[in-house]
Structure 1
Amino acid sequence: MIQGTGSNVGKSLIVAGLCRLFANRGMKVRPFKPQNMSNNAAVTSDSGEIGRAQALQAMGCRTPLTVHMNPVLLKPETDTGAQVIVQGKRFGTMRAREYGKHKAELLPKVLESFEKLRAEADLVLVEGAGSPAEINLRAGDIANMGFAEIANLPVILCGDIDRGGVIASVVGTHAVLESDEQARIKAFFINRFRGDVSLFDDGMREIESRTGWQGLGVVPWFADAGKLPAEDALDLAKGDGNGAIKIVVPVISRIANFDDLDPLRMEPGVTLELVQSGTPLPLDADLVLLPGSKSTIGDLKFFRKQGWDIDLKAHYRRGGHIIGICGGYQMLGQTISDPDGIEGEAGTIEGLGFLAVDTVLTPNKSLVETSGKHLASGAPVKGYEIHIGQTEGLDCARPAFHLRDETGRPKLDGATSADGRVIGTYLHGLFTDDSFRKVYLSGFGDVSELAYEARIDAVLDDLADHLENALDIDAVLNIAHSSS
């Protein structure tokens, strides 16, 4: 199990790299994260959802996604509450204190998923969440030491030198743990070092002497990390690229499945600008993309509070294009109704009015991988749906895509304005498909040559080589074998 001295110290990326490293050695590897918190989810081959980081790790393993790789996923809907996903399906919506009371009953499901992966793999790489030093959360823990203890896993600790104070964070973690937990941690390594790693030799020896843990090495800064899909919205850069086509994305408060943006970030001919709250949408945008949301009605109110509704109307009057994906699609319609109060208070809210469609939020969630074609161009497309709600209206007579539903039957998706400049769709991942992306961007004068998934695959190989050169991998395997 890889645990960290804190959140965002690079655990997810390290596990993804190790997954590819061991897969390249011919091993059957599986990623596992008992509990994750993210609104950036992926749809699995068994029709559930897991955190996007585990999807990247599965890609590192070269294995299909399954709900068992992340049996508990928390998807924040407000500052104090989250939707709880258990083995890929909605379990309920809870406040943090309420969830704490339910963790014990979720443990059997977590262990069941872990045992399924362990039975089919040579090696399971388990990622912790946050830090084991958060001892105020230790009671009923299923994310860090609580799970490691129940599953009898050896632990390797990751410290991040880029944020500063790494010696204190590693030694401090040792200091606050119970003696049996200190003993469970067998080794540590330091991540994200910039410059000559030998300059930290004394630091490694100091940590070893104060903790008794084995130092596995120092991982230098991996410059291509930004090319891999991010799971945390805090990792989203404000802007990427300097291409002629300017695509603008308003960053709503509960932005979800923002990996839709990753292929666009890598396009040389595109400038992708993420507009933060309090900042107007720029006047020179060619396309405004409204992303997915975990709380569509709340984010629509947030959108209007920023004045972005006025900016979007001005953008459209100037001849600009708009595309809305999932929650963004729902916002572009005439109304959004929540008769059962799924997202809060029951009622109906007026949409942005760019598409003649209306949405009714329903308890049932659509979770499906799908493929088909873009009707306007005939280009093939593939992606996934992950949404609640049904959308209907006059503009649905001009659908965006011809797809297949979860049973394989054909269906039409999305809506298009009469002039073709506004598109709404429930299809996530559409820009990941090279064929569709090339055709779509050609409408703005771009000639795309990016092979996105091949690029990601190559970066994972580079990351594996990077870790092979930095860490004592034989020691990592010896530690893993000590638990078998």
Structure 2
Amino acid sequence: MIEDPTAPIDFPALTRPGPRRARALMIQGTSSDVGKSLLVAGLCRAFTRRGLAVRPFKAQNMSNNAAVTPDSDLPPGPDGQIPRGEIGRAQALQARACRVTPSIHMNPVLLKPQTLAGSQVVLRGRVLGNCRAKVYHKMKPQLMPAVLDSFARTAAEADLVLVEGAGSGAEVYLRKSDITNMKLAQSADLPVVILGDIDRGGALAAVVGTHALLDESERARVVGYIINKFRGDLSLFEPACTLMTKRTGWPWLGVVRWFEGAARLPAEDSLALERPAEGEGRGLNIAVPQLSRVANFDDLDPLAAEPGVSVRWVKPGTPIPRDTDVVILPGSKATRADLEVLRREGWDIDILAHVRQGGRMLGLCAGYQMLGRVVRDPQGIEGPPGETPGLGLLDLETEIRGEKHLVELDTRDRTSGCRVTGYEMHMGRTQGPGLERPWLLLEEDGHARPEGAVSADGRVAGGYVHGIFGSDAFRAWWLQQVGAQASALDYEARVEAALEALADHCEENLDLDALLALAR
């Protein structure tokens, strides 16, 4: 736990590259969830298609949906290999839109919420520790040198950097500790576009209110505003845009209509789980308890995309449906705390009854840990030190440890005979007799590495591999094991098609030449 915000941070040497050759443009929102990440992803692909070397950048992201990068600030291991790092999944998707490999420098600071008042702080792939919000806000100015260094490194290899702000750029009460909105814009000399969301209502007040809260130097940095998620007759909204421009003096840069394909792209955070689920009542029914600190929930997107599968997120206060075929426990940033959530909601009783009646269970990462007999956290890494009984469905025990295990996977599973891609990202180590029946046998350096565990009757299984259902052949094999039929879905092609459609949407709704001209 980080208690002293003034304690020096052991940075590797920060070497600022030479003069920036890249243009840059920053997108700041009037609030969270206005569509900044999606718009930046679309612009990344659209400008990349025009032949520019484009890179995304977000100084600080708060999300439990993360992706593994091939680089980090950690020193090489005994084998000389550079340890892996992690960034927010939104920036990994934006890197994909740019057709480049994701890097820690695209999202140097990642906050992974573990409690209502604190998060794990990851700086350029290094876990600094857990931190209460009040302590973190005092610590942030120390992180700015690394943020600016990462921005400079990102810009050094690009023609255009698209910078995403965090939350609202008008949270002026946080101005002293800001590292990701206006203070970053001023420090890196970035022009700013304000993005408002008409779908939630109040776009007029949000844009004008943002102008009112910014100081003169910040207002002068804004080169215009865009209204996002519009539906309906634009002529009815144009007077509001005229009024916004009159009140702020900022140019109106366009209105982006609602993009129907957004659900086909990985979501940034759990706000997406509040939206209606697709596929209710289709074929195989999968129930997923919506844990309080759910992480990497896009693991389930490929299953939800299958025409014969219904993935239903079970919200607090709701029992697991009786017609469920498979219950999946997803990842979590606080395994013990979410085990308590399972019990508080009565989901543990539903799960045990489901298994007793012949239903199937799958646990992914923290969900896998929950299937065992106990989860121990003697160092208090995820919360207060202690241990919590698991569901007891697998003969395993897990201990949370300080070192994070980050691995990218592209291998073959001998159990299914399928190629498997994905990643591992966890701080727990699991052991026990249950490991004698592994879920997977992953080929590694010429031998098979056991991964996960499966019950004697084959109905309860789990493992640490995230993203495994994005592998089409494996997904088809697993669906067959649980009594369902896979389609001919090519999931990666589906994501690529969605990115192309998003880029087309940006081209149709915005003047990209004008936006590029505003970048500097």
TM-score bracket, normalised by the shorter chain, equals: over 0.9
Cα displacement (A) at 1:200: 2.1
Percent of paired sites with the same residue: 55
Letter in 2 for 1:204: C
- The aligned runs of 1:199-238 (5 Å cut-off) are 199-236=236-273, 237-238=275-276
Letter in 1 for 2:457: D
Specify the alignment match of 1:399 in structure 2.
438
- The aligned runs of 1:88-99 (5 Å cut-off) are 88-99=125-136
Matching residue within 141, 145, 155 for 2:192: 155
Cα displacement (A) at 1:342: 1.4
Q: Does 1:338 align with 2:377?
A: yes
- The aligned runs of 1:141-180 (5 Å cut-off) are 141-180=178-217
**Mapped partners of 1:452, 1:370: distance in 2:** 17
Specify the alignment match of 1:181 in structure 2.
218
Determine if contact 1:361/1:389 at 8 Å carries over to the other structure: yes
- How many residues of Structure 1 are paired with residues of Structure 2 in the alignment? 480
Matching residue within 398, 401, 423 for 1:384: 423
Specify the alignment match of 1:432 in structure 2.
470
SS at match of 2:441: strand
**Mapped partners of 1:238, 1:408: distance in 2:** 45
Determine if contact 1:371/1:403 at 8 Å carries over to the other structure: no
**Mapped partners of 1:431, 1:361: distance in 2:** 26
> Which of 444-453 and 174-183 deviates more?
444-453
Determine if contact 1:129/1:143 at 8 Å carries over to the other structure: yes
**Mapped partners of 2:139, 2:361: distance in 1:** 42
**Mapped partners of 2:88, 2:486: distance in 1:** 33
Q: Does 1:281 align with 2:306?
A: no
**Mapped partners of 1:384, 1:50: distance in 2:** 13
Cα displacement (A) at 1:14: 0.3
Q: Deviations over 1:319-374 (max 9, x none)?
A: 11110000000000011111212122222221100101111111000011013333
Specify the alignment match of 1:30 in structure 2.
55
Q: Does 1:2 align with 2:39?
A: no
**Mapped partners of 1:456, 1:68: distance in 2:** 24
- The aligned runs of 1:51-130 (5 Å cut-off) are 51-130=88-167
Letter in 2 for 1:467: C
SS at match of 1:447: coil
SS at match of 1:453: helix
Specify the alignment match of 1:42 in structure 2.
67
Cα displacement (A) at 1:408: 9.3
Query: How much is the aligned-residue C-alpha RMSD, in angstroms?
Result: 1.4
Cα displacement (A) at 1:268: 0.6
Q: Does 1:479 align with 2:504?
A: no
Sort the Cα spacing of 1:211 and 1:346 in 2 relative to 1 into closer, same or farther, 3 A.
same
Cα displacement (A) at 1:41: 0.7
Determine if contact 2:372/2:397 at 8 Å carries over to the other structure: yes
**Mapped partners of 1:345, 1:11: distance in 2:** 35
Specify the alignment match of 1:462 in structure 2.
501
Determine if contact 1:156/1:188 at 8 Å carries over to the other structure: yes
Cα displacement (A) at 1:404: 5.9
Determine if contact 2:90/2:268 at 8 Å carries over to the other structure: yes
**Mapped partners of 1:55, 1:324: distance in 2:** 24
List alignment gaps of at least 5 residues for structure 1: none
Determine if contact 1:239/1:272 at 8 Å carries over to the other structure: yes
Cα displacement (A) at 1:394: 1.3
Matching residue within 444, 447, 451 for 1:413: 451
Q: Does 1:373 align with 2:412?
A: yes
**Mapped partners of 2:52, 2:101: distance in 1:** 15
> Which of 460-469 and 340-349 deviates more?
340-349
**Mapped partners of 2:451, 2:486: distance in 1:** 26
Cα displacement (A) at 1:272: 0.7
Determine if contact 1:238/1:273 at 8 Å carries over to the other structure: no
Cα displacement (A) at 1:410: 5.4
Specify the alignment match of 1:295 in structure 2.
334
Cα displacement (A) at 1:235: 1.0
Determine if contact 1:402/1:413 at 8 Å carries over to the other structure: yes
Q: Deviations over 1:238-278 (max 9, x none)?
A: 53214210011001111011010111121110011100111
List alignment gaps of at least 5 residues for structure 2: 1-25, 72-83
Specify the alignment match of 1:139 in structure 2.
176
Specify the alignment match of 2:277 in structure 1.
239
Cα displacement (A) at 1:447: 2.9
**Mapped partners of 1:408, 1:36: distance in 2:** 38
**Mapped partners of 1:324, 1:447: distance in 2:** 20
**Mapped partners of 1:441, 1:203: distance in 2:** 50
**Mapped partners of 1:474, 1:13: distance in 2:** 19
Cα displacement (A) at 1:445: 2.6
Determine if contact 1:403/1:411 at 8 Å carries over to the other structure: yes
Cα displacement (A) at 1:56: 1.1
Specify the alignment match of 2:307 in structure 1.
268
**Mapped partners of 1:447, 1:467: distance in 2:** 33
**Mapped partners of 1:105, 1:229: distance in 2:** 32
Letter in 2 for 1:246: N
Determine if contact 1:42/1:52 at 8 Å carries over to the other structure: yes
> Which of 390-399 and 367-376 deviates more?
367-376
Determine if contact 1:375/1:400 at 8 Å carries over to the other structure: no
> Which of 220-229 and 394-403 deviates more?
394-403
Determine if contact 2:414/2:442 at 8 Å carries over to the other structure: no
